[in-house]
Chains A and B, each alone.
Chain A
Amino acid sequence: MYQYNEIDQTLVDERVAQFRWQTEQFLRGELSEDRYRHLRLRNGIYIQTHAPMLRIAIPYGVFNSKQIRMLAHIARTYDKNYCHFTTRQNVQFNWPKLEQTPDILAELATVQMHAIQTSGNCMRNTTSDHLAGVCVDEIADPRPYCEIIRQWTTLHPEFDYLPRKFKIAVSGALNDRAATQLHDIGLHLVKNEAGVVGFKVLVGGGLGRTPIIGKVIRPYLEQQHLLSYLEAILRVYNLFGRRDNKYKARIKILLKETGIEKFTAMVEQEWQLIKDGRELSAERVEEIKAHFAPPAYDSNAADDKNFDQHLAKDNAFATWVKYNTTAHKIAGYKAVFISLKSSDAPPGDMTDAQLDALAHLADSYSFGEVRSTHRQNLILADVHQGDLYGLWQQLDALTLATPNIGTATDMICCPGLDFCSLANSGTIGLAKEINEALDNMDYLHDIGEVKINMSGCMNGCAHQSVGHIGILGVDKKGVEWYQLTLGGSSDNEAAIGERLGPAVAKDEVTKAITTILDVYVGQRLEEESFLDMVKRVGITPFKEQVYADN
């Protein structure tokens, strides 16, 4: 993974010093609430229902055992012994004290971590494919480009006070696992006819109140022009994005109101004026690529016989392998999902003890590296098949081996009303209720792939509008209700879910979900996935059953 050089380290250290000064000034009453709010947000600090919340960046979801040990230390020292992984591949602490946040950031800086631009109306953490560099369907590894974008977006002098937040995602594989069509800018690594890798550029996707699927504004961009093209898009957005209404301030609204043709022409015109003389050099790209060189794989890994023996003997292990591991480009290796979706803990949460243990497992079995996914799980990306059985046993003892990746209980879930000051409705309790209702693993596995996404308000942090089943908490005169949608997807065939009908009461949500799944089991064709069936039959059969009693 990328290792800081002196410039990176200095920048992060100087940022901590800057924020410490700002916080002291605020606490002395010399900096207004409004001004400090903008400054602290750009350092990842929200003021939440109970306490400040600190969101720490995990650039494109890649981090290491040393950093994980630091997160465990912070959880123990400054928080209530746990942290929460987010849909932006970041990690959050829910209970730090404001006056201690500069100290936390200083500790993070010692392990090359920061919270810069994890919130606020600026360019956020660039996200990517959690299987980058190891998947079997990769065109090119997106991580070097993510790192180049990370550096370019960090403390960008012109674009730190944008109309609204701005999110970039990069995918380098045939299957889009980074929801790039739902980002302000989505970049797909593609090859042109000559086989040269460049970018397909999408703009204007997004979730939240007005979910929109991004549009291609350039089918192929030569990679040396990456940063000048981003600059052109950002300049057009910064100058022309709406600032009169925060609900209409995202680039998706600018694109919609301007029209794709005119918007594209504006970007292209700007780009033509700046593109020459600021190309990314091949040496620079190679220098960054070197940080992502493959680890020292065992070329004889596939010769291992233990793996098959354990598979044959131990059903529970075989089930876990089926659901929680995925193919690796190197024979004899697997990428292993660590499920943060057991019924024992809120989705995405991890304790300090689990973090410490995970750091040890990463060192022992996966070259010291871990990934976070936008579905709020973690990955050990490079596990030798001969190590899988031992790893599974240890993960199981840590309740990190629930074999439910991609199933109905692998829910994305925001912190909801329990923590978030924006939320209308609770989510964590409901997630637990749904998880418990689906605790029969055979039933869960029979249902197969279903993505349930639940947000506590229409800001949509949990991407409910692209869930196969979306659950959106709404407030009706102080009572929590839930709007259900079906058929959303953030994959290649991205789609916004369709509303099933009127919102349902909190105590009816779990029944509605089980009813929807029962309709699927009853009416599916052979081998037909949930999403495929929804596409085939529409929402009516589900609607009829969910609202049958009303």
Chain B
Amino acid sequence: MQIIKDKHIVDDTWQHINDDEKIPAGDVTLSLARWQQEKHALLHHAGQLGVRLDSTADVAVLADDVKRLALIELEFADFADGRSFSQAWLLRERFGYSGELRAIGNYMPDQAFYLARVGVNAFQPEKFADLPVMLAKLNEFTVHYQRSVH
């Protein structure tokens, strides 16, 4: 499985672990609820840790965790639900998250440019075939009016 990260197509080393599955070694993402329950037990996890958020999650609950997380996935259930854009902005600007921020789920390649501007640096398209299109769309505009996140 490949994704776009920092404007390059790279192999994805992560796997998402469902709430009823045992957490294996390696780079894993968990649901927010499971992360909050088990984060203390995972101090010695062999691999990197990440969280998958739906658009309704209050990202402020991760304020103290941002240093420990290497990946936060923003999962779109519906591309028209723009809350994920504000979640990304808050994670980067307010909570100082500097790890990988990845958009997954039902969103459009046409939204990748906006997502990048609010701090998303990794993109998993719905279809593998969309990878080159999405990569191109990251450069769709060469100008903008608003500040980008740092």
User: Interface residues, chain A, CB within 8 Å of chain B?
Assistant: 7, 10-11, 14-15, 18, 22, 35, 38-39, 121, 151-152, 154-163, 235, 238-239, 243, 273, 278
Are A157 and B146 closer than 8 Å at their CB atoms? yes
Residues on A with beta carbons closer than 8 Å to the beta carbon of B117 = 157-158
Are A22 and B83 closer than 8 Å at their CB atoms? no
B89: interface (CB < 8 Å): yes
Residues on A with beta carbons closer than 8 Å to the beta carbon of B113 = 157
Residues on A with beta carbons closer than 8 Å to the beta carbon of B148 = 157
Are A35 and B108 closer than 8 Å at their CB atoms? yes
Are A22 and B85 closer than 8 Å at their CB atoms? no
Complex CA gap A264/B57 in Å reads: 22
Complex CA gap A160/B141 in Å reads: 15
What is the size, in residues, of chain B's interface with A at 8 Å between Cβ atoms?
A: 26
Are A18 and B140 closer than 8 Å at their CB atoms? yes
Beyond A7-B143, A155-B141, is A39–B85 a contact (Cβ under 8 Å)? no
B37: interface (CB < 8 Å): no
Beyond A10-B142, A11-B145, A14-B140, is A160–B80 a contact (Cβ under 8 Å)? no
Of A35, A157, A159, which is in contact with the most chain B CB atoms at under 10 Å from its CB?
A: A157
Are B146 and A152 closer than 8 Å at their CB atoms? yes
Complex CA gap A220/B89 in Å reads: 27
Which residue in A14, A39, A156 is a CB contact (below 8 Å) of B142? A14
B81: interface (CB < 8 Å): yes
Are A35 and B79 closer than 8 Å at their CB atoms? yes
B144: interface (CB < 8 Å): yes
Q: Smallest CB–CB gap between B25 and chain A, Å? A: 36
The number of inter-chain residue pairs (CB within 8 angstroms) is 77
Of B81, B86, B140, which is in contact with the most chain A CB atoms at under 10 Å from its CB?
A: B86
B110: interface (CB < 8 Å): yes
Residues on B with beta carbons closer than 8 Å to the beta carbon of A163 = 82
Which residue in B83, B114, B145 is a CB contact (below 8 Å) of A160? B114
Which residue in B83, B110, B140 is a CB contact (below 8 Å) of A239? B83
B94: interface (CB < 8 Å): yes
Are A161 and B110 closer than 8 Å at their CB atoms? no
Are B145 and A38 closer than 8 Å at their CB atoms? no
Complex CA gap A479/B93 in Å reads: 55
Chain B window 18-42, contacts with chain A (Cβ cutoff 8 Å), 1 for yes, 0 for no: 0000000000000000000000000
Are A158 and B85 closer than 8 Å at their CB atoms? yes
Residues on B with beta carbons closer than 8 Å to the beta carbon of A151 = 145
Are B86 and A239 closer than 8 Å at their CB atoms? yes
